[in-house]
Amino acid sequence: MTTTSATALSRRSFLGLGALTAFASGAALVGCAPQPSTTLAETSIAEEPKNTNWVGEAPQIDDADIVNTLETDVLIVGAGNGGMACAASCVDLGLDFILCEKNAAVEAARGFFGVVNSDCTKAAGVDIDPLKLLNEMSRYADFKNDPRVTKVWIDESAEMKQWLDGIAAKKGLKATLCLHENHGDGGTDYYIPPISHVYVADESIEPGISLEKAGSIDLPVDWSRNVWLEEHLNEAGHQVTFEHKLVKLDRVEDGPVTGAIFETPEGYVRVNASLGVVLATGGYAANAAMTRELNPILGKCITGNAFSPSTTGEGIRIAMQVGAQFDSEPAPAIFNRGMVEPGVDAGYTDDSDTAMFSGQIGQNGIGSQPFMKVDRRGRRFINESTPYDNVVFSAAGHEGGVWCMVWDANAPKDVKRFATIGCSTGGMWMVNFETVDEWLEAIEQMMHADTAPIKKADTLDELADLLGFEGADKETFLAQVDTYNTAYDNQRDDEFGKEAYRLSELRTGPFYGAWFGGSLLATLQGLRIDEHMRVLDEQSRPIDGLFAVGDCSGSMYANTYPELLAANACGRTLTFGRHVARYLAGDFS
């Protein structure tokens, strides 16, 4: 066994994003610091999941099996959005660190990230009420979150962006705020301030641009943040340590976490970290065993595999093996875009731990538009003008867990009037096309033409046949269209209360339809943390030396992802990654 310093280790160079770029949306797929809480143990939720068989036991690894031991101040596990932000912050703060990644390249980055009251926000004339936003986030979570944790993102995301701007500028990139209409969204009033920012390769870009332009296929949106953050590390003499898979945390009994053990092509490697271990390993969406146990509803309504294949949950499991507390309730991030052929049911294809969901398409963005949606009996079953996952969860109670959405030749102007927010808008989803034919050509090219099961017909009767409606179900479907057209004429939806501006008519051919299930992007149920990202034990006390950021961390979400607060997850991940580095550097007492 040999001992090597962090800077002397021979590291692997960047091998390119390659196949990981397909999962950019799932990498997970985004001010003044609050004072530390002295009452966290009294207020945290300490319940355990009903079944934790998926946690497993820590492996027994003899010291003789360790082929190398490294020493550092900070050990960061995972080179995704949170890990790269933490590492780059360590560089700028002068902290010694080792960054280990199980794959051969950094993870794909989420391009859009949520920031509260940034310089772009102010330049665009927008003023966000931070406490109103705090309570909106807590409302989404039924107040099962820790508001002190949420507040770190709200208070510090602007500082994080200013820091990130300095690195981005070296790449010729400039940040802008994605603006949207001031109207509400959905059948319930929501607070929807514009927080989504993105870097673009255009120095002339305005500090605030419309969501329509932000989603345009012509706008030079940057998706390579983790690549240029890696270059920032390299320029400072640091490299990512690739092909190091976390297998065990070293913890003194009832004491601190002192490091971790990794499986590598050369054998087991131990890394000792004097200041702490930062887990940035992502969620567990790609682990079917964990997902089945922790999110049983997903097997009834998900068809699309939009998550990163790297999100297998090992950071969560391994931390729990040394006594970490886990969020009591799931919080999946789901899109309503898992397009499938007629007759395909939602759910996993098999019972294995590596099973995938049944659909062949990860996501098709048209699915998030609030057009009329019906179940297999041909009936509407929800107000379609709601956050993405609402229709998904509702569909779980209907046959097959899927639904059919229908639109006509007026779709381009309908979509512009709908003015949805987040990634349901933009050029790829029709706003930049004058006709449906233009859009259909573009969307089919994006989905490799023959894999997008969108049905097209000259009449609604013919479309019903193509969509698989038969007998009484077909009659119900056609009657539902008449009822929907009447609602449009009256500008009033007496069935489910959809807003008038989100209604549309189905009268102008050609007509289009497709079947959808949910598309799973990420799981946001993670390790309970405090406002310094310190992982809590089962008594809600911080475990010395152990931190978590990003999707493997918890305390911020429950039940659902706040989808109308676009890009908040990536924003908190970047902010928390930077906060940990600043905390370890002594910026917070």
Tens of pLDDT, residue by residue over 488-500, are 999 999 999 999 9
Q: Which segments of 188-288 are extended strands (E)?
A: 196-200, 208-210, 245-251, 257-264, 267-279
Residues 185-238 pLDDT 10s: 677 788 999 999 999 987 667 777 665 555 554 567 889 999 999 999 999 999
Helix (H, G, I), strand (E, B) or coil at 107: coil
Q: Tokens representing 485?
A: 């057209």
Lookup result for tokens 């989803």: 429
Q: How far is CA 173 from CA 170, 202, 554, in A?
A: 7, 7, 31
Q: Tokens representing 299?
A: 């097997």
CA–CA separation, 177 vs 112, rounded Å? 10
Residue-level pLDDT at 542: 98
Task: Outline where 7-141 has alpha helix (H).
Answer: 40-43, 81-93, 119-123, 130-140
The pair phi, psi for residue 413, each rounded to 5°, is -75, -30
Phi-psi bin for 69: left (phi > 0), alpha (psi -120 to 50), beta?
A: beta
Q: Is the pLDDT of residue 402 over 70?
A: yes
CA–CA separation, 191 vs 31, rounded Å? 21
DSSP secondary structure of 536-586: EBTTS-EEEEEEE-GGGB-SS-BSB--TTSTTHHHHHHHHHHHHHHHHHTT
pLDDT band at 448 (very low <50, low <70, confident <90, very high): low
pLDDT band at 184 (very low <50, low <70, confident <90, very high): low
Query: Closest Cα partner for 12 from 246, 264, 271, 225?
Result: 264
Flag the least confident range among 23-32, 220-229, 319-328, 453-462: 23-32
Residue-level pLDDT at 11: 26
On whether the CB atoms of residues 114 and 333 are closer than 8 A, the answer is no
Amino acid at 220: P
Flag the least confident range among 390-394, 429-433, 459-463, 518-522: 429-433
Lookup result for tokens 């305390």: 555
DSSP secondary structure of 277-293: EEE-----TT-HHHHHH
Roughly what angle, to the nearest 10 degrees, separates helices 147-169 and 568-584? Answer: 90
On whether the CB atoms of residues 363 and 332 are closer than 8 A, the answer is no
Residue-level pLDDT at 18: 29
Residues 193-206 pLDDT 10s: 999 999 998 766 77
CA–CA separation, 570 vs 551, rounded Å? 9
CA–CA separation, 184 vs 497, rounded Å? 14
Q: Which segments of 155-203 are extended strands (E)?
A: 174-179, 196-200
Lookup result for tokens 């019903």: 464
Please report which helix (H) or strand (E) contains residue 225, including its range.
Answer: helix 225-235
Residues 247-273 pLDDT 10s: 999 999 999 999 999 999 999 999 999
Residues 139-165 pLDDT 10s: 999 999 999 999 999 999 999 999 999
Q: How far is CA 58 from CA 4, 23, 246, 248, 535, in A?
A: 25, 30, 11, 6, 18
Query: Closest Cα partner for 225 from 200, 196, 194?
Result: 200
CATH 3.90.700.10 fits 297-307+333-521, yes or no: yes
Q: Tokens representing 228?
A: 């240029």
- Report the pLDDT averaged over residues 418-445: 67
Query: Closest Cα partner for 156 from 545, 585, 577?
Result: 577
Q: Tokens representing 318?
A: 């391994």
Q: Tokens representing 184?
A: 């509400």
Residue-level pLDDT at 424: 77
